[in-house]
């Protein structure tokens, strides 16, 4: 049986020029378009180096945040779910993703009106899919997603995202099937009972959004203590530039949809 971080396929979307107008908490920190493009290219190269076949979708200039393809859809080897992003400006992204999902997956489920859920609030673990309630994922959306996951033969846990955290995975990521990387606030929330938890160093909280892909753990290179911490624990760390992407309140998991065919 494959592990939940084993992937052979991924979808990404080229960042549009409009990405510099993407949503962000700090409006004074404007990302540089050329920098976003370079960071995205390094990310795609890292996925391919990890053994993943990557399909690159064209830019969607009408949707500045559309480079973050993880939010409007959730994918597995045997099916996909079209989500409903919690930010109204992103709602059209799921319709752009619909034909892509239908091309790749025989089963494509979807959430209904008022059922809001972002993929950034979904963490897939060995035993269940964790769905974090947040400003972008409401109770209706989480319950509808749990029902869709049940149709795909998967169990869901609905949990609370700590106050002030944009997405559940802003503050955590899966390192292996028994271990998560998390901020101290997330670790102390109690949602990871039964897991080993590695806490990111102080002042490197954004490093918690790492991404395990096969044998590689992708981590922002601007978080050297986290990179050293994980390397010392035996993980194969791949540091990646995330400075401009980080200005958009985003991280490494956001930029791709990943699955293993047939699982």
How do the pLDDT tens digits run along the chain, 263 residues long?
A: 679 999 999 999 999 999 999 999 888 889 999 999 999 999 999 999 999 999 999 999 999 999 999 999 999 999 999 999 999 999 999 999 999 999 999 999 999 999 999 999 999 999 999 999 999 999 999 999 999 999 999 999 999 999 999 999 999 999 999 999 999 999 999 999 999 999 999 999 999 999 999 999 999 999 999 999 999 999 999 999 999 999 999 999 999 999 999 77
Angle at 156 between CA 255 and CA 162, to 5 degrees: 65
Residue 172 among the catalytic residues: no
pTM of full prediction above 0.85: yes
- Reference 226, options 184, 257, 263, 181; nearest CA is 181
Q: Please pick, among 40, 172, 227, 254, the residue that the annotation labels catalytic.
A: 254
Structure tokens, 256: 């791709």
3-state secondary structure of 168: helix
Q: What is the pLDDT of residue 233?
A: 98
Q: Please pick, among 40, 167, 172, 227, the residue that the annotation labels catalytic.
A: 167
Residue 104 among the catalytic residues: no
Q: Is 141 exposed, middle or buried (0-12, 13-18, 19+ CB in 10 A)?
A: buried
3-state secondary structure of 213: strand
- 7 in Cβ contact with 259 (< 8 Å): yes
Q: What is the pLDDT of residue 1?
A: 60
Structure tokens, 191: 């949602």
Q: What is the pLDDT of residue 262?
A: 77
Q: What is the pLDDT of residue 27?
A: 81
Domains of the chain as residue ranges with CATH: 9-259 (3.75.10.10)
């Amino acid at each position: 049986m494959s592990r939940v971080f084993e992937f052979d396929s991924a979808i990404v979307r080229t960042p549009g020029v409009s990405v510099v107008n993407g949503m962000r908490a700090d409006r004074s920190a404007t990302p540089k378009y050329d920098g976003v493009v370079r960071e995205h290219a390094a990310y795609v190269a890292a996925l391919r180096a990890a053994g993943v076949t990557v399909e690159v979708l064209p830019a969607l200039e009408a949707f500045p945040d559309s480079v973050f393809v993880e939010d409007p859809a959730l994918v597995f080897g045997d099916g996909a779910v079209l989500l409903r992003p919690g930010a109204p400006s992103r709602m059209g992204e799921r319709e752009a993703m619909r034909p892509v999902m239908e091309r790749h997956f025989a089963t494509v489920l979807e959430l209904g009106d008022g059922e809001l859920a972002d993929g950034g609030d979904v963490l897939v673990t060995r035993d269940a899919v964790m769905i974090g309630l947040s400003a972008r994922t409401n109770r209706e959306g989480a319950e509808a997603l749990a029902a869709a996951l049940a149709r795909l033969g998967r169990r869901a846990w609905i949990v609370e995202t700590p106050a002030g955290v944009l997405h559940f995975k802003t503050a955590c990521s899966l390192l292996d099937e028994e271990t998560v990387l998390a901020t101290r606030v997330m670790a102390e929330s109690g949602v990871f009972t039964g897991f080993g938890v590695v806490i990111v160093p102080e002042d490197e909280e954004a490093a918690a959004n790492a991404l395990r892909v096969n044998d590689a753990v992708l981590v922002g290179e601007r978080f050297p203590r986290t990179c050293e911490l994980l390397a010392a624990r035996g993980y194969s760390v791949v540091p990646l530039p995330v400075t401009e992407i980080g200005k958009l309140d985003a991280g490494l998991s956001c930029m791709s949809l990943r699955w293993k065919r047939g699982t």
